[in-house]
Every structure is written in structure tokens, then in C-alpha cells.
Amino acid sequence: MKVLKYSLRITCGLLIALNVSCSNDNSSSAVEGDQHLTIFFTNDMHGQLDNFAKIKHIVDAKRELTNVLLLSAGDIFSGNPIVDQYSEKGFPIIDIMNRTGYDVSVIGNHEFDYGVSILNDRINQAEFRWVCANVDASGSSLVQPDPFTTLTVGNLTVTLLGLVETNGKPNDVIPSTHPWRVADLTFQRFDDIITDYQNLKDAEGADLYLALTHLGSFSDFSIANNYPYFDAIIGGHSNDLNDGAIKGIPVVMAGNRLSHLGKMELTIRNREIIAYDITLIDLNEYDEEDQELANTIAEYNNAPEFAEVVGFSNSHHNRNELGCFYTTALKEYMQVDLSFQNGGGIRADIDQGDVTRHEIFNMDPFNNGSVAFTMTAREIKDFFIETGAGLHVSGVSLVRSGNDIQIFDENGNEISDNVNLTIGTNDFIPSIYDTHFSFEDADIRELTTAESIIQYLKTINNTVDHESCNRFFRY
């Protein structure tokens, strides 16, 4: 087992740089009657299944010795075609989490990626509890998540408050997901509602009060400093490795994609943590696993439809290079003048060699639709200037010129402002920047962007050859 020895030092250095206090003074002499609890935690799994068998082996062994909670800090979906493209989207990870023995998960922003109807089905299939205090689902088909939950673990009572980030769209309060998929939900910023729960520990008669957040490290640090109601904060969203404490409050996070399993061993006296020990277990260095669960995961991974070879990559392509491939593929397959793609929508590299369906869905996991718009060159310039959007581009070259932008075609000829251009893109971008793209003007295509790229490779050009290419533009 490999344990990170340095992350506390790194975390504290970051906190000091942010003028945030940091403490790891957790010493206290044990006395008779002290209670003990081990909390295991993961975050930002993004559909990864393989390391769950290791997690179950570790957690089950500890359950035989002491009180244990197993928690998820959100973003369990979006990132693995085995999960995202399953007939019941997302079900495999729910099934595996059930079998692993999770107790509670906060809803992360990517839990909304499949839409509320599918999320509702997955919530109903889960054998663990879901929490989220800053969403109102009353106007939708989604079952209203509990803002908090209180569990009895041995002789301990533990209350957990759930919070999700809401930075998904300029001038709006929604999580970082497709806006159309949360149109019937209402969200509040965490700092607008957190004080409503400041007395929850006493109200619930809890021995421990935990914040289970999907906000990112900076917000978790802010909560510990400005809203010190919590005995510990277990977070996700920013994919960090945090094992430090602020004002004596442990603030933890365990990386992403099941790279690590967080472990926090607590000693509780008179409803307070008097000692803690935090470990981030590198799961890729841990060799033992629960064999039964490993077999179940292997059954899910046995999906030959994703092994279909659809193209060939001449070299390893990173995400900037894939921005060129992605937009070229959309432009050519959709038969438009140019194409846009947001960098955050490209989620994985592609290795040299055969390119499979699995790799394309892994690169582009969000099931976004393909959509075309017609805009003048002037409208395109105004879009980039007014929004500050940074996007990968194919079909034209965009060059900043003083306080304006010049647009050139692929032959180097400047395009006049009044020329109409067709744009192919995913439907996430126009939903985010809906003041510049009207849904009524959209030419909605049949295939998702990932399906369009697969068809491009199969019917137009089966070679990925964009080494050293970078056509990312921001005004």
C-alpha cells in the first residue's frame, strides 16, 4: 500500500498562500469512553469501476474492527462508456456502489448529465442515501433530495449536509452541466443557504456534523474558515488530494477517477473530534481486492461493442491536439463552414494505434447533441468578444486585432463581416451562451457529437493525425 506522505504539506502551503489558516494539531490522550469512527471517502469517480473491488476489500476489513462510514462526494457519472452508454445509463456504477457498501453520496454536477428522469431512476435504485441542500426539485420530475441525513453508526449519531457547486453558467445559478437538463430545477449558492443549517448538529442530537460537498477545495476552505459549524468537510469537484485541516477542522478530498481512497480515522469525545488521522490510499498501488466484486466488474467491462476499431491514430494525441481532431471531424461530417468545441468537453487523450468506439466515447462522454447554426462573421466576432469564451476551432482562423477579431478562411483570405457562415458544434455551447445562440434557429442533427465523430472516422477519414496542432482561441 502506498500512502501519500506529502499532501498535507502541499495543502497547507496552498492554504497559507490563500491567507487561510492551517492546522494539523490533532493530539489528545485517549480516555475510557472515547468513541471511534473510520470514514472512507471517494469523489469524482466519473464512471470508473475497476478499483471498487479494492475499495470493498479495504472497507470490509475495517468494518470488522470498528465503526465505518463509506461516503461519496459526487460526480459518479460521465467518463466511462461502460457506465455512460449502458442501456440504463449510469446503472453499472450504482450497482457497484451498492455492492461496495456506500452509505451516502452528495449529488455532484455531473449527476445531472443524463437528465433528471434518468437521475431519478438511478436514485431509486441506489441502496445508499443522497443529500443536496441547495437544489429545489419541486418543479421537476426529480424526487426532492434530502438536504441532510442522520445515520446511526454503532453508538454514534452522524449528520451529513450535502452541497453542490453552482458555477455552471454566466449570470445564472446552476451546476456545471448541460443547462437544458436542469431547466426545471432551482439552485441556490451554498453560501446563501448554509447558515440555515448552522444549528443542525444540536437539532439532530448528533455526535458529528459533516459537510459532504461537491464545491471544490476553495469553497471547502471558505466553509471551514467562515462557517465553522462542521466537525469535518469531505469534498469533491476540484479533483485535489487534500488531507489537511483548517482551524482544527479536517478538510479532505481524494483525487479523481478512483485514483485514491480517502481514510479518516476519528476519535470522538463529548461530541467533538479530539484526534484524527488522515490517509490517502493510492489504489493503483494496492494489490488486494474483493474477488466477487471484481468478477461483477469484469462482466460489465466485457462489452465487445466498444472494442470496435473505427480509426487509427498516428501518434498519441493530447486534449489540445484532439481539439483539432474533434472540430475537424464535426466540420467535415456535418458539412459546415466551421466548428467549435469547448475544451472541458474533451475528457481524455487518445493513444497511438487503433482507435476504438470506447476511446471516442471516453473522449466525449456527455451525450451532447450535434447542432448547426448560421451566423454572420460579425456575429461570431461579437460572440467571442462579449463572452470571453475559449474554444477549439476548425474551418477558419481567428486572430485578435486590437479591440476586434479578424476571421480568415482556410486559404488565408479574410472573411467580411456580412458573410454568413454555418457552424457545427455540440448543443452544450449554445445552451451556455444562449444570448448569442437562439434555440429556435438551431439545425438539430440526429447523432450525438461522439456518434458523429465515429461516423466521420468510418466514412470520411479514418486517421487521427493532428500532432502538435493547437487551434484554441480566446479573445
Phi and psi torsions of 333, nearest 5°: -70, -40
Distance (Å, rounded) from C-alpha 355 to C-alpha 457? 9
Question: According to the model, what pLDDT value does residue 28 have?
Answer: 57
Answering whether pTM is above 0.95, one says no
Residue type for position 186:
T
Three-state DSSP state, 274: strand
Say if residues 28 and 254 touch (Cβ distance below 8 Å): no
Phi and psi torsions of 284, nearest 5°: -75, -10
Question: According to the model, what pLDDT value does residue 32 have?
Answer: 78
Question: According to the model, what pLDDT value does residue 31 have?
Answer: 78
Distance (Å, rounded) from C-alpha 102 to C-alpha 63? 12
Question: According to the model, what pLDDT value does residue 10 have?
Answer: 41
Question: According to the model, what pLDDT value does residue 33 have?
Answer: 85
Walk along the chain (475 residues) and give the pLDDT tens digit of each residue.
333 333 343 444 455 444 444 444 465 566 778 999 999 999 999 999 999 999 999 999 999 999 999 999 999 999 999 999 999 999 999 999 999 999 999 999 999 999 999 999 999 999 999 999 999 999 999 999 999 999 999 999 999 999 999 999 999 999 999 999 999 999 999 999 999 999 999 999 999 999 999 999 999 999 999 999 999 999 999 999 999 999 999 999 999 999 999 999 999 999 999 999 999 999 999 999 999 999 999 999 999 999 999 999 999 999 999 999 999 999 999 999 999 999 999 999 999 999 999 999 999 999 999 999 999 999 999 999 999 999 999 999 999 999 999 999 999 999 999 999 999 999 999 999 999 999 899 999 999 999 999 999 999 999 999 999 999 999 9
Distance (Å, rounded) from C-alpha 142 to C-alpha 175? 16
Question: According to the model, what pLDDT value does residue 3 have?
Answer: 36
Grid cell of 254 as nine digits = 481524494
| Cell 462557517 sits on residue | 227
User: Which is nearest to 365 in space by CA: 351, 390, 344, 393?
Assistant: 344
User: Which is nearest to 160 in space by CA: 120, 193, 121, 207?
Assistant: 207
Residue ranges of domains in the chain, CATH in brackets: 2-301 (3.60.21.10), 307-474 (3.90.780.10)
| Cell 445531472 sits on residue | 112
Question: According to the model, what pLDDT value does residue 41 have?
Answer: 99
Question: According to the model, what pLDDT value does residue 4 have?
Answer: 36
Instruction: Tell me the β-bridge partners of 341.
Output: 392
Q: What DSSP line would sit under 345-370, residue for residue?
A: G----B-SEEEEHHHHHHHS-S-PEE
Question: According to the model, what pLDDT value does residue 291 have?
Answer: 98
Identify the helix (H) or strand (E) that includes residue 251.
strand 249-254
Question: According to the model, what pLDDT value does residue 13 have?
Answer: 45
DSSP for residue 247:
T
User: Which is nearest to 112 in space by CA: 85, 81, 77, 84?
Assistant: 77
Question: According to the model, what pLDDT value does residue 338 have?
Answer: 98
Question: According to the model, what pLDDT value does residue 6 have?
Answer: 31
Q: 313-328 in b/e burial notation, b at 16+ Cβ within 10 A? A: beeebbbbbbbbbbbb
Distance (Å, rounded) from C-alpha 360 to C-alpha 366? 11
Residue type for position 1:
M
